[in-house]
Structure 1
Amino acid sequence: MSGKVRLGAVGAGWWATSNHFPIFAAREDVELVGVCGIGPELERVREQFGFGMATENYDELLAQDLDAVVITTPHDLHYAQAVQAIERGLHVLVEKPVTLSAEQGWDLERRVRERGVVFLAPYGWNYKPFTVEAKRLVDAGHIGQVQYALCHMASPTLGLFAGDTNHIRRLWDSQTSGPDPRTWQTPSKGGGYAHGQITHSSALLFWLFDDLRAETVTAKVSTAGSAVDLYDAAVVGFSGGALGTVSGAASLPDGSSYQVDIRVFGSEGVLLLDTERERVSVRRHDGQEWNIDIPEGAGEYECIEPPNRFIDLILGRSTENNSTADVAARSIELIDAMLRSSAAGGTEIAVQNKEPVS
């Protein structure tokens, strides 16, 4: 298509107004048709970003002349809202976690393929120049067959999951109220560290390695007295016979840099990727080695490129989607299995590609 992308948005809270809406509003090739949300701040959001209309009714938003929808509602609402948009033939950007179950994740992936729409989950690290270069080295075959993978994440998010959610506004501020604790601190709504943070690190791992997928998961989580998981640890059997560990911790001190540490050992070489220490290296058994130069501060999390890439994909200006529905589904089924394993006392869970939900 050409011209402007006619965009609707469902969800008008802290993250949408601090990150996505300013990016879209600054683009001349985007028309902000309408915004859907709840609460007294909705009209102020409409005026601040120049949306054509505001409504508390999602069906009313979808009835507008739209090309695409951005979904930034509470986690447990993502799936149903994405299905409605996809079935109308709309392109969708869906915040992570995209869904809360493997069945729903793979169902979205199927619907996206069948409808031929653009689907993007805004995983910021997947679009960093140094991770893109790491992906190029992986795709060139320098790691070979994956035999062992370590995927760890830690972040200063204790307040978000077990305290005052407003603390995180020091990093991403907006003119609306802060994150709703009911979203982040309620298990049934997708609260907790696995859905809130391991979604990032696992999606990076699964984008880097296209064929990698969890097959068995044995996991334990710790709430440390909170309502949701703050610490997660899993032993994972991956496709192709690879073994791995996936872990996460919510209690880095405030002000600390986020940690994403991915180390993958293959038949041909090893990938080391560390966002905190800002290093990426590939070392092969034949002696070849690559070390990627990363500017100071570039390892910090940001989510500027994904919303821009979403528009560029719709307009045909890019074909590079680093966080597809397939990447999101593989991340979701891993996290789903981790939480189910822990709930069953650490029993090994066989991950299955179940039939899509209707």
Structure 2
Amino acid sequence: MDRARVAVIGAGWWATQFHLPSLLSYPAAEVVAVVDTNPAKLKAVKEHFGLDNLFADHREMLRKVKPDGVIVALPHAFHYSVGRDVLDAGVNLMMEKPFTLKSHDAWDLVRRARERDLILTVGYPWNHTSHAHSAREAVRAGSIGEIQMVSCLFASMVIEYLRGNPEAYRSSFEFPVTGPGEQTYSDPAIAGGGQGHLQVTHLAGLMLWVTGLRPAEVFAFMEKYGLQVDLVDAIAVRFDNGAVGALASDGAIAPGQRQDHEIRIYGSAGSIILTPIPGELSIHLADGEVRNFPALDSAESYPESATSRNLVDMITRGVGTPAPGELGAVAVDLLDAAYRSAETGQKVLVSRHDMPAPVL
């Protein structure tokens, strides 16, 4: 297949600022439909991109257009139900993060994709960087020995999204076509959670892919600080190999203030320090050797076009992905357990679903 016929479900900020420009400028892709229930967003897509095949109902689109692949970029609460419809229609799927809100829904999508031999991938741009691949290769080669501890930090500028005031960020994020709705990230009925589902999912997806670990038990504290959703999270994890870890995240960073994105992986024979932004990687071995990798520029450190184009390449050329559906499901396992722990004040054992173990 020379070109993949791709439809995009959701015409919000992420789809219009990243996915549609990426696909429209990629020779191997043809955008065959855009879906959104909001007529104003469809009108903006038509005016900005010149696209005419627009739908208000994704099921109608799937019946009439029969695309090769679909990108779902909707508010979090709709990921599972729409993703299920896409897979049941026999169409390959790239789901934006978080993959789903609930663990059982995530593994149900994985099952449906496997039963139909369909592509299922998740929108994790950091997993596509050369640093992520180099760190993963070092772990798999045994360069740092058996992983014993993982530390993750994600301090970011999203509090106005979580407050329901996205316009406060227009000067920072631009929103050239459509911006986030006021409820997209602030209303638990639509967003699920806050910082965990909006931000920690980034770091969890990267950390789990680099390490190949799976969470076994989780304890979490989450604070809302007057919001309807969590703003600050502290998550403790025991992994399947006995290693322990911590993920800490704060969404209250102000414009101009330093943001922190870091993963530290400690093994029996060395350690890895990976900072996705600003794009740095170093590997420290027990014999004193330090491997410093060339820094990535801003485009390389956050390749926003990589996720949609990876779906196209999987369809047209049969390439693999650093963000398979199974990885998305394991990240949901971690976050679902964290939210349940924060709510109950109890440690949560991560459910094991009746599925073959994923190769992460």
Coarse TM-score class (shorter-chain normalised)? over 0.9
Aligned to 1:54: 54
Q: After TM superposition, list the pairs within 5 Å mapping 1:150-299 onto structure 2.
A: 150-189=151-190, 190-210=192-212, 212-256=213-257, 258-276=259-277, 278-297=279-298
Please tell me whether residue 44 in structure 1 is matched to residue 44 in structure 2: yes
CA deviation profile, 1:127-173 (whole Å, cap 9, x unmatched): 12222222222222112221111112110111111251123443443
1:206–1:331 contact (8 Å) kept in structure 2:
yes
Shift of 1:175: 4.1
For residues 300 and 263 of structure 2, the distance between their equivalents in structure 1, rounded to whole angstroms, comes to 13
For residues 155 and 302 of structure 1, the distance between their equivalents in structure 2, rounded to whole angstroms, comes to 18
SS in 2 for 1:3: coil
Aligned to 1:114: 115
Cα distance change of structure 1 residues 53 and 302 upon mapping to structure 2, 3 Å threshold? same
TM-score normalised per structure 2: 0.92
For residues 258 and 308 of structure 1, the distance between their equivalents in structure 2, rounded to whole angstroms, comes to 28
Farther off after superposition, 167-176 or 328-337: 167-176
Structure 2 residue ranges without an equivalent (≥5): 356-360
For residues 21 and 73 of structure 1, the distance between their equivalents in structure 2, rounded to whole angstroms, comes to 14
Cα distance change of structure 1 residues 299 and 229 upon mapping to structure 2, 3 Å threshold? farther
CA deviation profile, 1:296-334 (whole Å, cap 9, x unmatched): 546754412111122111111x62311111111111111
Please tell me whether residue 353 in structure 1 is matched to residue 352 in structure 2: yes
Please tell me whether residue 29 in structure 1 is matched to residue 43 in structure 2: no
For residues 120 and 169 of structure 1, the distance between their equivalents in structure 2, rounded to whole angstroms, comes to 29
Aligned to 2:358: none
Cα distance change of structure 1 residues 277 and 74 upon mapping to structure 2, 3 Å threshold? closer
For residues 312 and 168 of structure 1, the distance between their equivalents in structure 2, rounded to whole angstroms, comes to 33
1:67–1:91 contact (8 Å) kept in structure 2:
yes
1:14–1:173 contact (8 Å) kept in structure 2:
no
Please tell me whether residue 72 in structure 1 is matched to residue 73 in structure 2: yes
Sequence identity (%): 30
For residues 138 and 244 of structure 1, the distance between their equivalents in structure 2, rounded to whole angstroms, comes to 16
Between the two proteins, the alignment pairs up a number of residues equal to: 352
For residues 278 and 8 of structure 1, the distance between their equivalents in structure 2, rounded to whole angstroms, comes to 31
For residues 287 and 313 of structure 1, the distance between their equivalents in structure 2, rounded to whole angstroms, comes to 40
Aligned to 2:87: 86
TM-score normalised per structure 1: 0.92
Q: After TM superposition, list the pairs within 5 Å mapping 1:316-331 onto structure 2.
A: 316=317, 319-331=319-331
For residues 305 and 243 of structure 1, the distance between their equivalents in structure 2, rounded to whole angstroms, comes to 31
Structure 1 residue ranges without an equivalent (≥5): none
Shift of 1:258: 4.1
